[in-house]
């Protein structure tokens, strides 16, 4: 998808999140929304599906989510009628735990392979099969140092238009949205590829 990113970001900087979603969908034939059911994911899932209820929602389930996250995910899938497309690693977590001795720390030489197996490979496989031209995500500017260099609209290495309707939102904004629509939140979330919330896992730096 060819688009002038600077012009798009300039025009959308003061737009409401709903307007950003509508703007993006008008320029897409094969949109997807990605989720990992982490804290505040109910906001982006509700926001986008209010505009396009049947949008394919890509969930890469690493196999290492907490019980609370799996219950939260199932509850949202049912409540919002989400069109979930689940992709899982080619190797089970049980087998990988034996071969790698558990989840490798970020200092372990195996950690890069671990991240590839549980997140990057399933995600790339999903993109290959779904062939999206638009990727809605929930990244926010204040989450990591790397994301401060991004914007509402960017582009993946494969040319997929990446749109982050919540890019300039604060946690207070997210909390207000959850309260307004009586949406649940999930705080017992665990990402095995990240040691710190401020650390990137690779999806937005490599794709």
Helix (H) or strand (E) holding 84: strand 83-87
Contacts of 197 (CB under 8 A, 6+ apart): 143, 144
* pLDDT in the model for residue 92: 94
Structure tokens at 50: 């209010």
**Residue tagged 């994301």 (tokens):** 147
* pLDDT in the model for residue 158: 83
Contacts of 47 (CB under 8 A, 6+ apart): 17, 18, 21, 165, 166, 177
* pLDDT in the model for residue 156: 87
Ordered domains of the chain (ranges, CATH) = 5-183 (3.40.50.620)
pLDDT along the chain (207 residues), means of 10: 84 93 96 97 98 98 96 98 98 95 92 95 96 95 71 89 95 97 95 67 56
* Residue spans of alpha helices (H) in the chain: 5-12, 17-25, 41-51, 67-80, 93-100, 111-115, 121-130, 171-180, 203-206
* pLDDT in the model for residue 141: 85
Q: Model pTM?
A: 0.89
Nearest to 156 by CA among 206, 92, 96: 206
* pLDDT in the model for residue 204: 53
CA dist list (Å): 50 to 84, 133, 166: 15, 20, 15
């Amino acid at each position: 998808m060819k688009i002038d990113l600077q012009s798009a970001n300039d025009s959308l900087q003061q737009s409401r999140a709903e307007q950003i979603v509508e703007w993006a969908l008008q320029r897409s034939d094969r949109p997807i929304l990605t989720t990992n059911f982490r804290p505040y994911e109910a906001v982006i899932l509700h926001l986008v599906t209010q505009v396009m209820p049947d949008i394919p929602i890509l969930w890469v389930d690493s196999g290492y989510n907490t019980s609370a996250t799996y219950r939260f995910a199932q509850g949202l899938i049912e409540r919002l009628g989400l069109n979930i497309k689940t992709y899982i690693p080619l190797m089970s977590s049980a087998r990988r735990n034996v071969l790698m001795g558990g989840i490798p720390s970020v200092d372990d030489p195996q950690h890069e392979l671990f991240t590839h197996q549980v997140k990057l490979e399933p995600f790339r496989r999903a993109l290959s099969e779904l062939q999206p031209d638009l990727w809605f995500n929930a990244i926010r500017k204040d989450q990591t140092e790397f994301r401060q260099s991004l914007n509402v609209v960017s582009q993946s290495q494969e040319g997929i238009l990446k749109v982050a309707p919540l890019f300039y939102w604060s946690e207070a904004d997210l909390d207000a949205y959850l309260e307004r629509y009586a949406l649940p939140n999930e705080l017992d979330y665990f990402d095995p590829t990240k040691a710190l919330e401020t650390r990137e896992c690779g999806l937005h730096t490599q794709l």
